[in-house]
Structure 1
Amino acid sequence: MTKKLSLAEKLRSGQPVITAWSLLPAPILPELLARAGYPAVTLDLQHGMHDFNEARDMLAAIALGGAHRIVRVPLDDNASAARLADVGAECVIAPMINSAKEASAFARALKYPPVGDRSYGPFRASVLSGLSNEDYLERANTEILSLAMVESREALDALDDILAVPELDGIFVGPSDLSISMSNGEAVDPNGEETARSCAMIAEKATQAGKISGIFCLGAEKVKEAVDQGYKLITHGIDAALLDSAAKAALGEVEAFVGSVEGDRATY
């Protein structure tokens, strides 16, 4: 039987991995995304609607569907980062990391001594990973990934220092927030030329530093651009947007036969 590669092994080998993005707190949804063929699913606990208990169950559902398990934690919440790793996250993304000090504190929360400060209790994580507790402990410091989000001018200014943090596995770019910061709050322009130039520079520096780089993409053409720039973990497809577009497409298929199918409804 061919050994299944871990997420860390895939990303470090240079193989791009596409992840779906989950905002909706229903375990069946990430399982369906996994069964549809997504290699990974990311649960967004910063801007999504999940709480810890829902995320715990959704990580198990993602594993059941056969995909890799990623979470983005709320702002300044290293405790949740460690706890979500304990219940099965293979990769944790932390938002708004603006300094090497912040990056180190976050990464150390996911690493066991002597690399970090994580406390031992991965009983659910080891089950979902198909490992004994002993094997999980042996592999966790290399296979449970910490990605610090670069999404501000401050983070760009500190990028070299962030990438030099030895216990940090990589970075993840948030183009929307980055564009807001670079424009001094005047515009959201994740697909703009200035944002693209910054993203290309970030990927190049991450590669030079031997770190994993990830990015949130809005559109298939941006996925191609990200791959060309050297990004390895790439978001494409948000559950709420996928459901919305599929519902509209399904209705559109029958409008020719029954006329407009848009009913009266209140909009808030």
Structure 2
Amino acid sequence: MPALPNPFKSALTEGRLQFGLWLALANAYTTEICAGAGYDWLLIDGEHAPNDIPSILAQLQAIGRGGSHALVRPPVGETSLIKQILDMGAQTILIPMVESGAQAQMLARAMRYPPNGVRGLGAGLARASSFNRDADYAQTADEQVCLLVQIESCAGIDALDAITTTDGVDGVFIGPADLAADMGHLGQPDHPEVVAAVEAAIRRIVELGKPAGVLTVNRALARRYIDAGATFVAIGADVTVLADQTTALLKTFRAEV
């Protein structure tokens, strides 16, 4: 059997809008709850959440019980770490802090088997190949893996064209929070200068023929970024939802007593 089809990558290619949720609680139980909510994609965060390889694996298995597509963000774009994440069954990886075309090229090669890349051939031991039950996995995996690169600095914006046009980059994600800090607006991803920069980046990515993505919890900004051309949009995080709703619940009941 060949590698499993990647519905997220297909939707990107077709230009279909997909809504996602960030997962930072580092817990397979809460991930399974979120997987039943109907999001198009869920991102397991290994950059800022306390996730490691075993916890990412457990969450991949939990998401597999629902209808969402799993994305994984490792802490860095390191070749051996990418190999592990792919082998344990993730098909779509988001790499943070990409700042050059050369870096994007290295990441694209890390995602793919020779002769198109440098991914080590260990599929016979891997969950990705159903533990070698999918005999054609290695021959077909490159078509289904999906590399998303995250631009979140002024240097990344300056190199946007080179990054976006790199062969093997399937989508470009703008990170407003870090970009805001690098622009001198720490903690202000909604600052007008930041919003303008994000909108311009999204439009340029689309002009260059690649899908664009972004994360914002601001509904008005989400609409603006979608209008600018973003087609994979994260609209919240499990941590924020839990923190906000537990606080609001207690506040409401205290006010009524």
Question: Does the residue aligned with 1:235 lie in a helix, a strand or coil?
Answer: strand
CA apart distance, 1:236: 1.2
Contact 1:20 1:236 in 2 (8 A): yes
Taking structure 1 as reference, are residues 160 and 256 closer, same or farther at Cα in structure 2, changes over 3 Å only?
closer
Runs (4+) off by over 6 Å: none
Q: Indicate the residue corresponding to 1:141 in structure 2.
A: 142
CA–CA separation in structure 2 for the residues paired with 1:256 and 1:198: 41
Contact 1:191 1:218 in 2 (8 A): no
Structure 1 residue 39: Cα displacement:
1.6
Counterpart for residue 250 of structure 1: 249
Give, in whole Å, the separation in 2 of the partners of 1:165 and 1:110.
Answer: 13
CA 1:195–1:142: 2 relative to 1, 3 Å:
farther
TM-score in terms of structure 2 length: 0.90
Equivalences, count: 252
| CA-CA distance at 1:256 after TM superposition | 4.7
Distance in 2, Cα, partners of 1:141 & 1:20: 26
The one-letter code sitting in structure 1 at the alignment partner of 2:121 is Y
Summarize the alignment of residues 108-127 of structure 1 with structure 2, pairs less than 5 Å apart: 108-122=109-123, 123-127=126-130
Alpha-carbon contact 2:6-2:91 (below 8 Å) kept: no
Gaps of 5+ in 1: 260-268
Alpha carbons 2:108, 2:117 under 8 Å: kept? yes
How far the C-alpha of 1:141 sits from its partner, in A, is: 1.9
Match of 1:264 in 2: none
Alpha carbons 1:21, 1:43 under 8 Å: kept: yes
Pair 114,66 (structure 1): closer, same or farther in 2 beyond 3 Å: same
1:189 positional shift: 1.9
CA contact (8 A) 1:7 1:143 kept: no
CA distance in 2, matches of 1:54, 1:255: 37
C-alpha distance in 2 between matches for 1:163 and 1:173: 11
- What secondary structure is seen at the aligned counterpart in 2 of 1:43? strand
Given the alignment of the two structures, is residue 192 of structure 1 paired with residue 206 of structure 2, yes or no? no
- Give yes or no for contact 1:69–1:88 (8 Å, CA) kept in 2: no
The residue aligned with 1:152 is 153
The superposition leaves residues 215-248 of structure 1 with CA deviations (integer Å, 9 ceiling, x where unpaired) of 1112222221221111111111211111112212
Contact 1:7 1:90 in 2 (8 A): no
The whole-number CA distance in structure 2 between the counterparts of 1:237 and 1:121 is 35
Q: Residue 239 of structure 2 corresponds to which residue in structure 1? A: 240
TM norm structure 1: 0.86
Residue 190 of structure 2 corresponds to residue 179 of structure 1: no
Q: Which amino acid aligns with 1:212?
A: P
Q: What is the Cα deviation at residue 5 of structure 1?
A: 6.5
Q: Distance in 1 between matches of 2:141 and 2:194?
A: 34
Between the aligned partners of 2:129 and 2:211, the Cα distance in structure 1 is 23
Is 2:215–2:236's contact at 8 Å kept on the other side of the alignment? no
Identity value in percent: 29
Bigger mean CA offset, 45-54 vs 72-81: 72-81
3-state SS of 1:133 partner: coil
Gaps in structure 2 of 5+ consecutive residues:
none
Shift in alpha-carbon separation, 1:249–1:189, aligned structure 2, 3 A: closer
Query: Distance in 2 between the 1:106 and 1:77 partners?
Result: 8
Q: Is the 8 A contact 2:172 2:212 kept in 1?
A: yes
RMSD: 2.2
3-state DSSP of counterpart to 1:69:
strand
CA contact (8 A) 2:6 2:145 kept: no
